[in-house]
A and B are shown apart, each in its own frame.
Chain A
Amino acid sequence: MAFAAFASSDAAVTKPPRRKSTIALVLLLPGILYMVLFFLTPLISLVITSFQAELPGGDIGDYVPGLQWQNYVESASEYLPHILRAFGYALVATVFALIISYPIAYFIGVKARRWPLLQSMMLTLVIAPFFISFLLRTLAWKQILSDESPVVQALKAVAILPADGHLTGTPFAVIFGLTYNFIPFMTLPLYTTLERLDTRFLEAGSDLYANPATTFLKITVPLSMPGIISGTLLTFIPAAGDYINASRDFLGSSKTAMLGNAIEANFLTLQNYPVAAALSIILMAVILVLVGVYVRRSGTEDLL
């Protein structure tokens, strides 16, 4: 259902004649096989793992198949702060990314139309961070925000940051990292809808007594809703499950650990596979419900 937001809705307007075709099925086969093998199988395996019970008298990491539904209750209550942080940080980062990306996308997609060279140069700049590994970029930010860095020194000098203050390991640094890392995912879908925005609608708005602010809120924003929806989903979903930014090796600390960090720790360090699996399922379920409600409420079906 979430994918409805990404789909081109042109199909809804002009329904092509439906024809049964074996060629289509043959072409779909590799995709179906791939999904069954690499998506459905691990998913089922994950569900089974999440219900496993501890092997009595066994080593750490030894589990037997079972129907231990308490795994869900226990892990949800134990890791509630992590769950809340995951969705809270992701939400704040998504909002910031939207606020930062919209003007960029508007400039590239609408204002820079007359200069295609500038347009493509700016688009390249938006994509440019992808040329460097996600991990390296986050590590670079760790350096920039570290206690000895000029940034922190300067902030301390002007007393914005107390003398014993830090930036790394705080929610600020984690949200900053999430926002920074997901800005391209927000900017590109926004750009693609704004690039097609018919400015004649804006002229019509102005002609009908709407000042620039009203024109923006009543016309530009609704018409760019498909971009806003897909941008926020592309940011929120991976940000909620992210475990790099909040990790203590990068911008976070144990106080900022998110659900992703809890899953990572349970799988790799504590070897508590049922809890890790249960947390993964919880993460997936919550995202599915939130996104479903969001897409329903935003009413994208109204748009062309």
Chain B
Amino acid sequence: MKTMSTFAEAGADLEFVDISKRFPGFTAIENLNLTIPAGSFFALLGPSGCGKTTTLRLVAGLEEPSAGRILIGGNDVTNTKSFQRPVNTVFQSYALFPHMTILENVAFGLRRRKIDDPLGKAHEALRLVELDHLAARRPAQLSGGQQQRVALARAIVNRPALLLLDEPLGALDLKLRRQMQLELKSIQTEIGLTFLHVTHDQEEAMTMADIVAVMNKGEIEQMGAPEQLYELPRTAFVANFLGQSNLFTGQVTDSGADSITVDVAGRGIVVPRTRAQRHAGEVTIGVRPEKLLLHTEAPTTGAGINILGPGRVTDVSFSGVSTSYIVQIPGLGAVTVFAQNMVFGPVVNEGAEVWVSWTVDHGFGLEDEPTTGSRFPADASTSAIAIQRRAALETELEGA
């Protein structure tokens, strides 16, 4: 391959075509279609077990897809081995070779590809992560943060068309993580590679990535720029995984040209038509807690304002920048409100009677059915059936 003998000039785009990955007994990824544009910082965000690490391993060539094709820079790499792919990974465990010095670890990939002056280039990469003075040490002599930077240097020194990051910041403390996030982002901008970053940390994904894809149960729920995802989540999963949301369910009572009205506990809540995915029947609508305003007296109803209440404040928690209030509204349940601390202390105390309001433009309507079942139907492969039968038998035996 020509990408093997030279450094990649620029990042390459990555394409998944109908990728599925099944393990005995469960499906990790189902029919994934995804294109990651060249030169972008792409974050795959999801809870553990959602298939994001499997996706990464499929790209690296450490797993084979059950079906579908993977293209890197237009070349089909589905059937190539991991050592033949123009891809490098920063592993979650770093996987630095314990029997080699830091310098030799970084030069490993260069030596395998017979690139000129591997040690010089390795020193250069170590300078980029500010660890050149530790080149002669062994991985065990470095702290977690330093090891993480070595793992990063070991990957980027190869100038891969695509750099894969498997929750590389997970083991670091908060301060170091912030610092590494900024460094990673600046390195990516500097060398212009395509980064595919897998994480379960929504804040990390939003601060670093150009494009975030939220993954759940082997499928991509929503993809887009971080602001877009945050301001207009399309599903309940995205609304709650990416930040917090107050969600309400009700019947659409009026469907106008540019807004719909939903009956929520007897009050008509208006959502702009363009911000709602469904326009009839029973729908779920939501609003972010920081968009809500607290009122101690019933606010005057007006166009462009949604009001809920009265309710009772059941919890007030102060967190420095803001205060979070939980308001119990009869017939609706708990509503969370984040208020910036513009004055000293909380505005209202526990037990106070309050109303909440928000501007109509801030609401959003979700696309999923108010009651969603499990996404995957029972896997019917023989091994899955065998495993299920064994599990059933085991529970039966335990009961006896």
| Chain A residues proximal to chain B, CB less than 8 Å | 13, 198, 200-201, 203-212, 214-215, 218-219, 222-223, 225, 302-304
Contact = CB atoms under 8 A, between A and B. Distances in A.
Given A203-B62, A209-B4, A13 B140 contact: yes
The 5 closest A-B pairs by CB, nearest first: A204-B95, A208-B109, A209-B112, A206-B82, A222-B99
Contacts of A13: 140
Nearest to B154: A208
A207 B89 contact: yes
B62 A208 contact: no
Contact of A302 (B60, B62, B91, B99): B99
Given A207-B89, A225-B99, 13 more contacts: A200-B91, A201-B95, A203-B82, A204-B91, A207-B87, A207-B88, A209-B109, A209-B113, A209-B158, A212-B83, A214-B112, A222-B99, A302-B99
B61 interface: yes
A200 B95 contact: yes
Nearest to B95: A204
B82 A207 contact: yes
Given A206-B81, A206-B83, A211-B83, A223 B62 contact: no
Interface in B105-162: 108-109, 112-113, 138, 140, 154, 158
B98 A223 contact: yes
B62 A207 contact: yes
Nearest to B87: A207
Contact of A204 (B87, B97, B99, B113): B97
B83 A207 contact: yes
Given A200-B93, A203-B62, A214-B112, A208 B99 contact: no
A210 B61 CA distance: 13
Contacts of B87: 207
Nearest to A219: B97
Interface in B150-184: 154, 158
B88 to A, nearest CB: 6
11 contacts: A13-B140, A201-B97, A204-B95, A204-B96, A205-B83, A207-B87, A207-B89, A208-B109, A208-B158, A218-B108, A219-B97
A63 B113 CA distance: 70
Contacts of B95: 198, 200-201, 203-204
A210 B95 CA distance: 15
A210 B108 contact: yes
A218 B154 CA distance: 16
A214 B83 CA distance: 11
Nearest to B92: A200
A214 B81 CA distance: 14
Interface hub of A206, A212, A219 (most chain B Cβ within 10 A): A206
A13 to B, nearest CB: 7
A243 B67 CA distance: 61
A171 B81 CA distance: 45
Contact of A207 (B60, B93, B98, B99): B60
Interface string B53-89: 0000000111000000000000000000111100111
A201 B98 CA distance: 9
Contact of B112 (A198, A208, A225): A208
Nearest to B62: A203
Contacts of B108: 205, 208, 210, 218
A225 B108 CA distance: 19
B99 A206 contact: no
B109 A206 contact: no
A210 B93 contact: no
B62 A304 contact: no
A268 B4 CA distance: 68
Contacts of A204: 89, 91, 95-97
Nearest to A222: B99
Contacts of B91: 200, 203-204, 207
Nearest to A203: B62
Contacts of A218: 108
A122 B140 CA distance: 34
Contacts of B82: 203, 206-207
Contacts of A200: 91, 93, 95
Contact of A210 (B83, B96, B99): B83
B99 A223 contact: yes
A216 to B, nearest CB: 12
A89 B14 CA distance: 58
Contacts of B109: 208-209
Given A201-B95, A206-B61, A304 B140 contact: yes
A207 to B, nearest CB: 5
A89 B97 CA distance: 36
B88 A208 contact: yes
Nearest to B99: A222
Contacts of A211: 81, 83
Interface string B294-322: 00000000000000000000000000000
Interface in B1-21: 4
Contacts of A304: 98-99, 140
A214 B84 CA distance: 13
Nearest to A221: B99
B363 to A, nearest CB: 46
Contacts of B83: 205-212, 215
A226 B61 CA distance: 30
A214 B113 CA distance: 12
B112 A303 contact: no
A14 to B, nearest CB: 11
